[in-house]
């Protein structure tokens, strides 16, 4: 065992030294010492719950996991961090029996084992909370919990048992939940608790959580972390997969970093820092802070007044929203997803018709309750980077250069009569690929084959290069890796410096706070408050949950 660890560490060390070159070598050596100490304590205190030795997995030519070594101490919260596509999810899928490793050894509780399918993972005490909840929306909490472990051919047999067991678990781990509630009606935070209870009901000792906080409000995330700590204190082992550094620092005991399919380091959380981890994730130092220069704010380019929007079921999703965005200003709209932000963007960009509401775009007045379309808004100088690039921003099966003109294809420079001038389009696509560092630089490849970050750059290039006055941008960095995030943030800051008005909608508080000049928070379709970028996370978090502590001072929203 000891020799295996030494080997694993030695390899990581060599890898990093190559990567970071000499200026990082000293840091790395210091970290090494800390790390070995960290591991030693874990190894001395107890048996590892999970041990992976030399696990590899490839999909065709893509090596998703390369010779992974990992030791997870029993009764600890172990974080696994890495960029999108670093191989975290693949590794966890191997542990949960979704994929078979091509080679390598898995040990659970110090016994070598194989995990051919999920059933076997469950039998060996592994439970998983997936990023997209594996719940049946139309079932009750109880039905979801017992699915696959019903305890008899008739439901009646198991249900009474399950009910009392569920209550015991819920009490023990501080997770109050109504067993007869229909899961689809519950808020996401509660749905996640159902997932955790489902795993515990099956007797899980090891709980894997895949990006668990992506859909949660800050207070829901805090609640989750409290639950995780209780689980740990009761002797359960928790594996937390995330790309959010803050969570790692907040809740884990140990952290392992993955990069491009390899495990590059394992550290004691207390002995590392966000900057250090970010550097390990990306392989170079990253600016976590965005450089935000002073920009002179000009006249309002976008004014919205009294906007009400209904969704296709007739439910009012945006309620009397008014705001304005000035030239050289970024207005951030924060909020948990599903509180009207998507409908707001759709109405402003001309995709859906509002119930009522007026908009003034670069001086032109529009009645949003009349039919408009996205093409019209574009000609008036507003471009839109939609929240969901796969559904609205790109046609996945089209090539990069075809996507680079979507929505602008009627412009004379791209077409001759009814035909496209493919050469001109390709030439421009190549220029943009260079300018925006889109990789790989192949305009003829279908966009589906680009990574998330590069897909987003393709959309961004298209919407920024047409030189709009107003940029609507939704979830600019969702599913995008750190390197690209940095790049996208800088482009947004460039727009601001050029005196454009930017409306930024994001569920990432950190992103909103670092980019915005002003922040408004939406809850249940209403604007519940406005803050400056210096607002604390707690303050914004409360607003996102619909609580405005300064409500009495906030009656006059600046319009």
Q: Does 149 bind another protein (CB under 8 A)?
A: yes
Q: Which long-range contacts (CB under 8 A, 24 or more apart) does 137-141 make?
A: 137/182, 137/183, 137/184, 138/182, 138/183, 138/184, 139/182, 139/183, 140/179, 140/180, 140/181, 140/182, 140/183, 141/166, 141/177, 141/178, 141/179, 141/180, 141/181, 141/183, 141/186, 141/194, 141/197
Contact pick of 28, 31, 65, 93 for another protein (by CB under 8 A) = 93
471 neighbors 503 (Cβ within 8 angstroms): yes
Contact pick of 21, 23, 154, 412 for another protein (by CB under 8 A) = 154
- Concatenating the DSSP letter of every residue in 204-251 gives -SEEEEESTTTT--HHHHHHHHHHHHHHHHTT-EEEEEES-HHHHHHH
Contact pick of 155, 315, 395, 557 for another protein (by CB under 8 A) = 155
| Minimum distance from residue 266 beta carbon to another protein (Å) | 22
| Minimum distance from residue 148 beta carbon to another protein (Å) | 3
| CA neighbor of 410 nearest in space, from 458, 466, 350, 456 | 466
Q: Does 23 bind another protein (CB under 8 A)?
A: no
Maximum C-alpha span of the chain: 76
Q: Stretches 20-28, 66-74, 133-141, 544-552: which one binds another protein (CB under 8 A)?
A: 133-141
Contact pick of 117, 373, 537, 550 for another protein (by CB under 8 A) = 117
Contact pick of 25, 136, 371, 445 for another protein (by CB under 8 A) = 136
Number of residues that bind another protein (CB under 8 A): 35
Contact pick of 98, 300, 355, 465 for another protein (by CB under 8 A) = 98
Q: Does 418 bind another protein (CB under 8 A)?
A: no
| CA neighbor of 74 nearest in space, from 110, 48, 100, 111 | 48
Binding mask 46-85 for another protein (x = CB under 8 A): -------------x----x---------------------
CA–CA dist 526, 523 (Å, integer): 5
Q: Does 6 bind another protein (CB under 8 A)?
A: no
Q: Does 130 bind another protein (CB under 8 A)?
A: yes
Q: Does 399 bind another protein (CB under 8 A)?
A: no
Q: Stretches 138-146, 295-303, 490-498, 537-545: which one binds another protein (CB under 8 A)?
A: 138-146
Q: Does 150 bind another protein (CB under 8 A)?
A: yes
Q: Which residues pair with 305 in a beta bridge?
A: 358
Residues 187 to 246 in contact with another protein, rule: CB under 8 A: 198
| CA neighbor of 308 nearest in space, from 365, 351, 347, 366 | 347
Contact residues for another protein, defined by CB under 8 A: 59, 64, 89-90, 93, 96, 98, 117-119, 121-122, 128, 130, 132, 134-139, 143-144, 146-150, 152-156, 158, 198
């Amino acid at each position: 065992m000891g020799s295996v660890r030494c080997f694993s560490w030695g390899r990581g060390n060599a890898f990093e030294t190559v990567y970071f070159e000499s200026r990082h070598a000293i840091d790395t050596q210091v970290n090494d010492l800390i790390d070995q100490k960290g591991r030693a304590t874990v190894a001395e205190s107890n048996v590892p719950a999970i041990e992976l030795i030399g696990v590899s997995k490839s999909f065709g030519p893509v090596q998703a996991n390369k010779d992974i070594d990992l030791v997870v101490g029993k009764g600890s919260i172990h974080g696994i961090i890495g960029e999108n596509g670093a191989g975290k999810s693949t590794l966890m899928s191997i542990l949960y029996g979704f994929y078979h490793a091509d080679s390598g050894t898995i040990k659970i509780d110090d016994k070598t084992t194989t995990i051919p399918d999920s059933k076997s993972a469950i039998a060996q005490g592994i439970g998983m909370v997936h990023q997209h909840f594996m719940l049946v929306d139309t079932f009750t909490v109880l039905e979801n919990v017992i699915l696959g472990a019903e305890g008899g051919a008739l439901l009646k047999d198991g249900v009474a048992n399950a009910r009392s067991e569920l209550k015991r678990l819920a009490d023990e781990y501080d997770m109050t939940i109504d067993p007869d509630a229909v899961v689809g009606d519950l808020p996401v935070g509660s749905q996640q608790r159902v997932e955790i209870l489902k795993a515990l009901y099956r007797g899980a000792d090891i709980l894997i959580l895949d990006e668990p906080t992506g859909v949660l409000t800050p207070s829901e995330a805090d609640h989750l972390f409290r639950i995780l700590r209780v689980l740990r204190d009761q002797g359960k082992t928790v594996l937390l997969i995330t790309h959010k550094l803050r969570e790692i620092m907040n809740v884990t005991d140990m952290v392992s970093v993955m990069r491009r399919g390899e495990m590059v380091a394992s550290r004691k959380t207390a002995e590392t820092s966000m900057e250090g981890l970010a550097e390990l994730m990306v392989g170079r130092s990253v600016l976590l802070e965005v450089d935000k220069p002073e920009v002179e704010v000009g006249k309002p380019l976008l004014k919205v007044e009294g906007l009400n929007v209904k969704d296709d079921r007739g439910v009012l999703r945006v309620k009397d929203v008014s705001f304005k965005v000035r030239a050289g200003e970024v207005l951030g709209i924060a909020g948990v997803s599903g509180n009207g932000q998507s409908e707001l963007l759709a109405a402003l960009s001309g995709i859906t018709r509002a119930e009522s509401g007026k908009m003034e775009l670069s001086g032109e007045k529009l009645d949003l309750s009349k039919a408009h379309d996205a093409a019209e808004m574009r000609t008036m100088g507003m471009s839109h980077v939609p929240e969901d690039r796969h559904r609205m921003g790109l046609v996945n099966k089209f090539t990069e250069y075809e996507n680079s003109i979507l929505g602008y294809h009627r412009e004379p420079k791209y077409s001759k009569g009814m035909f496209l001038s493919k050469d001109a389009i390709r030439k421009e696509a190549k220029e943009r690929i260079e300018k925006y560092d889109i990789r790989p630089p192949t305009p003829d490849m279908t966009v589906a084959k680009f990574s998330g970050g590069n897909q987003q750059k393709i959309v961004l290039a298209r919407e920024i290069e047409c030189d709009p006055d107003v940029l609507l941008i939704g979830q600019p960095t969702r599913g995008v890796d750190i390197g690209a995030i940095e790049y996208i943030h800088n482009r947004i800051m460039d727009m601001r410096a050029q005196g454009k008005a930017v409306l930024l909608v994001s569920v990432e508080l950190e992103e909103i706070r670092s980019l915005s000049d002003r922040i408004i928070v939406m809850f249940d379709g209403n604007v519940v408050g406005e803050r400056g970028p210096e607002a604390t996370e707690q303050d914004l978090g409360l607003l996102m949950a619909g609580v405005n502590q300064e409500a009495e001072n906030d009656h006059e929203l600046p319009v």
